[in-house]
Structure 1
């Protein structure tokens, strides 16, 4: 029997409110609607958590499912004091925060070959926990899968600007940052073969309540450092942190551009000032991808 979150222990410094509900179609959808209906009731930061998300949403309208109490599903309300063009760093910031939290847990050698300590590094120089641009948290796994190489997806991140907020003088737009983290799913409970859970990756039994508190604290601390630097990814240290945990940078990739605008193949070389991915093609041209699906390619 999977345990419920212990709501009386979910106390995170600085949060205006953290609500836990038994079931929600999508915490992002619900929180966006709640903030639009009554912005004053949701001071930043606040969070909405559900034990069972029945119609979770990923990027490009994809669905995200998990059995009750098998995952952490949380949406965080932020009002970042940064230029609007820098908001593309939010999913990257959150991904790096998830990696830092998970790296505190010792891992064994589960069905997917978890490493001894997350972040310790492998023969190819990439640690067992990494972030695929722009919003997937991965763990090392074998055998390789198309599009992810020697990784499996353990968490997804979705950010949404709340329409109708931040329109007045001095007002900051509200942003909802959703994180879905697979915790205890069995292989049969996963929706696709490219996904995994912390249990399958060898992390053992995870206390979801403690994990949630640590995750909320880490995300807000990282966002705070970013805001203090005015959204500057270099001055805040965010750019270096994201590069250090990136599974995409330095990899040969194929980027399928949004709205059917074609694709770009080449090496992912860096992130630009807005968090977009810069790809160097075989012809030596550098192309910037702000939105789209990125697939990791095996080197020939």
Structure 2
């Protein structure tokens, strides 16, 4: 689904055109789309923080689901307090306000469900083999360079490409019970514009499109369908079949991993499944099993 906005031969200002707010509202805001409100801002230090402040100041002005998208985020926030930045209009950066009618304990699934939606949208629209690294990173094969020693390659014959991060997700529960889900998707960055060597972009992954408007619409259509199934099942991911969908698209399950726990101490073993609350189940090399809800997960190469 490439478009005239994808032309890589254009000057940078044209190759990275601005998002058209009114056009996107026509496609994504009710009655045509799943959203109740959509705002595009020129710059935001953090769309998650900006949306949370706006909701706290005037909750009636922000019916859910509501989306804030920014053209430039110089101080983006990730998990565990990490920060990152991207060139203007090179990424798709936004935060979605949700008030899902599910039990509060079910909200821990939101990062995985957002990852599932993002991976599905990228597969369908950009033609890349997107997968999800637990709990909130979306990876795609990047054939531009050889894999680093610590990287796991995508399955395939010959010289498989390393799997590298193209998107990150951050879900935060608000004091009033709402949830803000932020997604940062690398779209048109070149190699020297990426925050870390183990990241990539859709452009570097030879995606079928780098049109951010096409990607935004596909992402929220996919997320709307998944959230609808989840809410219809009362937040029960198993009843909705979403736990199986998340497992199917997971790059982590069935892989040897090292979990760096926030409290200290690493756990090394096989990632065997998801717990009922979305936690990662790991069978350690000594045969013990543990469930993890936070910490860094590193994919390891198999023994031998």
| Contact persistence 1:256–1:294 (CA under 8 A) | yes
- Give the equivalent residue in structure 2 for 1:7: 21
Q: Does 1:242 pair with 2:246?
A: yes
CA drift at 1:106: 5.4
TM-score (norm 1): 0.88
- Give the equivalent residue in structure 2 for 1:169: none
Runs of 5+ consecutive residues of structure 2 not aligned to the other structure: 1-12, 154-162
Distance in structure 2 (CA, Å) of the matches to 1:270 and 1:148: 21
CA drift at 1:205: 4.2
The one-character-per-residue Cα deviations of 1:180-219 (angstroms, maximum 9, x if unpaired) are 0000000010011100000000115421112112212221
Q: Does 1:157 pair with 2:169?
A: yes
| Contact persistence 2:116–2:245 (CA under 8 A) | yes
| Contact persistence 1:182–1:198 (CA under 8 A) | yes
The structure-2 alpha-carbon separation of the partners of 1:242 and 1:285, relative to structure 1 and needing over 3 Å to count, comes to same
Residue among 271, 291, 303 paired with 1:268? 271
The structure-2 alpha-carbon separation of the partners of 1:95 and 1:147, relative to structure 1 and needing over 3 Å to count, comes to farther
Q: Does 1:134 pair with 2:154?
A: no
**Other structure's SS at 2:125 match:** coil
The one-character-per-residue Cα deviations of 1:138-185 (angstroms, maximum 9, x if unpaired) are 00235333554121000000000012x0xxxxxxx1000000000000
Which structure shows the higher helix fraction? 2
| Contact persistence 1:35–1:42 (CA under 8 A) | yes
The one-character-per-residue Cα deviations of 1:36-86 (angstroms, maximum 9, x if unpaired) are 111111111000000001100000011121100000001000011112221
- Give the equivalent residue in structure 1 for 2:97: 77
RMSD of aligned C-alpha atoms?
1.3
| Contact persistence 1:45–1:220 (CA under 8 A) | no
| Contact persistence 1:146–1:297 (CA under 8 A) | no
**Other structure's SS at 1:255 match:** strand
Number of positions where the alignment pairs a residue of Structure 1 with one of Structure 2 = 272
The structure-2 alpha-carbon separation of the partners of 1:144 and 1:35, relative to structure 1 and needing over 3 Å to count, comes to same
Answer with 216-225 or 17-26: which moved more.
216-225
| Contact persistence 1:55–1:63 (CA under 8 A) | yes
Runs of 5+ consecutive residues of structure 1 not aligned to the other structure: 108-117, 119-127, 166-172
Matches within 5 A, 1:29-68: 29-68=49-88
Residue among 87, 92, 106 paired with 2:107? 87
Residue among 99, 115, 119 paired with 2:119? 99
- Give the equivalent residue in structure 2 for 1:280: 283
Q: State the 4+ residue runs in structure 1 displaced beyond 6 angstroms.
A: none
TM-score (norm 2): 0.86
| Contact persistence 1:146–1:296 (CA under 8 A) | no
Distance in structure 2 (CA, Å) of the matches to 1:196 and 1:48: 24
